[in-house]
Amino acid sequence: MEKPLDKLFDKFLQGQDIFKDRTALRATYVPESLPYRDDQMNKIGSILGPALRGAPPSNILCYGKTGTGKTVVARYVLDLLVKKAKESRLTPPLTALINCRIVGTNYRVLRQLCDAINATMPDGSDVPFTGLPTDEIRSIFKKELDSEQNIMVVVLDEVDYLVKRDVSQGNDILYGLTRMNSELDRSRISIIGISNDLTFKEMLDPRVLSTLGEEEVIFAPYNAVELRGILQQRVEIAFNKDAIADEGVINLVGALAAQEHGDARRALDLLRTAGELAERKGHVKVSQEHVRDAQKVIERDTITEAVKTLPMQSKAVLFAVYALADKGQNDIVTGECFNVYSDIAKTLSLDILTQRRVSDLISELDMLGLINTTVISKGRYGRTKKIKLAVSKKQIGTILDDDIRLSKAAKDILR
DNA sequence: CCTCCACCGGAACGTGAGGAGT
DNA sequence: ACTCCTCACGTTCCGGTGGAGG
């Protein structure tokens, strides 16, 4: 008698795996060479170079859209710098890579920095997640760093989030970091800021900008040809020979990603998902069909994920927009949205938030890309935000229906 | 040209959870 | 037990504003 799983596992045993090393397709993977980014690498390298002789490098700001290789270049150059220093028996610079989207507050940034240099509390215990005054953690960090003559290179990935979340606080954090050099005796810090947002500079305090933006490096999006080159490089590491059906597969992935402003991360994601789809279906080769399916899967997953992880109040607001759109309303404005939201919140026995707050939630949904909003003026009839769903009604509908509380409320609200 | 609507969005403040030190 | 932190999430208050209609 044949067990159903036998066949499946046999396939894996036969070694007809599609992937050789799928980590090569992940965003965190740093390949041995980075094609098309020589200019940027040289520039960053020449700025950081003095660190090898113990001189403090200038601060750098890197700009470029997502998936243009900013982070990977920074990683690559830093790794190489440390390696070179070790080879020549010099003290390697200390490094820290902080993602400001995740580590978004002054305290947490400082804590990460402490972690990176193994700074500890006076009694030797680890620095706590919370509880200390920020000043204190700051001085702990300074003391530890200054205990020897150190050069520290701090990479602040996605710095724009720091400032966007709270302009004055974000500026404080950056100002505090740039000013720290004048408070240190022996050591020096230099900062590499990485931003997706080109307008980010405008939000910066001039004092911060002048020190932080001493040097600037621009990362242009990859074009379709370059994307193909990158894919080619990774395919050889990630996939087994002949696992890709034909040239067209890579061309297609490159073309699709090029449409998305040349996002290489996206391209690699697409390729990996396509490979996984093929693998799961038991196919031996990745075809263009798989790539197309992968694109749908990725899009659906990101939206579903975004909606599911939304706080209840935001879901209620999103649901209000959905309900209005479902009724065939074209011009949804904040006022209406708030009214419908109030009803929903009531049926769900949620607290009813103020319109001011709901307005903020709407802006958040906009930033997440779930809705689109534009501020319009209707003259005599006021000024408001026009709201549109940014994703298909059907999709939002099915996701919201999955939420038991919401789907119950839906029956009451939708007519 | 002026008015005035219906909001926008900044600022300051309050609350309560989560945690540390004493 | 009590004080002192940070921080997410909300509220209150309010000055600001693009443009249809008088």
Class of domain A310-413: mainly alpha
Averaged pLDDT score across all residues of chain A = 86
Contacts of A302 (CB under 8 A, 6+ apart): none
Nucleic strand C under 7 Å from the C-beta of A182: no
Q: Residue A12: what pLDDT?
A: 62
Q: How far is the CA of A132 from the C1' of C7 (A)?
A: 13
Contact in structure between A258 and A224 (CB atoms under 8 Å): yes
Q: How far is the CA of A356 from the C1' of C2 (A)?
A: 37
Mean pLDDT, rounded, for A158-163: 81
* pLDDT(A10) > 80: no
Q: How far is the CA of A384 from the C1' of B3 (A)?
A: 18
Q: pLDDT > 90: what percent of chain A?
A: 41
Q: Residue A403: what pLDDT?
A: 78
Mean pLDDT, rounded, for A88-97: 89
* pLDDT(A204) > 60: yes
Identify the three-state secondary structure at position A216.
strand
Nucleic strand C under 7 Å from the C-beta of A168: no
Q: Residue A101: what pLDDT?
A: 79
Choice between A355 and A281, residue whose per-residue pLDDT is larger: A355
Contact in structure between A93 and A150 (CB atoms under 8 Å): yes
Strand B: which nucleotides have any atom within 7 A of a protein Cβ?
A: 3-11, 18-21
Mean pLDDT, rounded, for A324-347: 91
* pLDDT(A15) > 60: no
* Residue reference for tokens 């080619």: A232
* pLDDT(A137) > 70: yes
DSSP element (H, E) containing A215 = strand A215-219
Least confident of A10-14, A229-233, A262-266, A403-407: A10-14
Mean pLDDT, rounded, for A109-117: 84
* pLDDT(A1) > 60: no
Determine the Cα–Cα distance for residues A184 and A149; give it in Å rounded to an integer: 10
Nucleic strand C under 7 Å from the C-beta of A357: yes
Identify, with chain letter, the residue nearest to nucleotide B4 (CA–C1'). A380
CB atoms within 10 A of CB A351: 8
* Domain(s) of CATH 1.10.8.60: residues in chain A: 17-25+222-307
* Domain(s) of CATH 1.10.10.10: residues in chain A: 310-413
Mean pLDDT, rounded, for A103-114: 81
Contact in structure between A198 and A213 (CB atoms under 8 Å): no
Q: How far is the CA of A354 from the C1' of B4 (A)?
A: 24
Mean pLDDT, rounded, for A238-254: 86
Mean pLDDT, rounded, for A338-347: 93
Contacts of A196 (CB under 8 A, 6+ apart): A64, A65, A66, A158, A160
Strand C: which nucleotides have any atom within 7 A of a protein Cβ?
A: 4-14, 16-21
Q: How far is the CA of A100 from the C1' of B21 (A)?
A: 29
Q: How far is the CA of A206 from the C1' of C17 (A)?
A: 27
Q: Which residues of A spanning 142-161 put their CB closer than 7 angstroms to strand C?
A: none
Q: Quote the pTM value.
A: 0.76
CB atoms within 10 A of CB A148: 11
* A17-25+222-307: CATH number: 1.10.8.60
* Domain(s) of CATH 3.40.50.300: residues in chain A: 38-219
DSSP element (H, E) containing A299 = helix A288-308
Q: How far is the CA of A112 from the C1' of B18 (A)?
A: 19
Q: What kind of fold does domain A38-219 have according to CATH?
A: Rossmann fold (3.40.50)
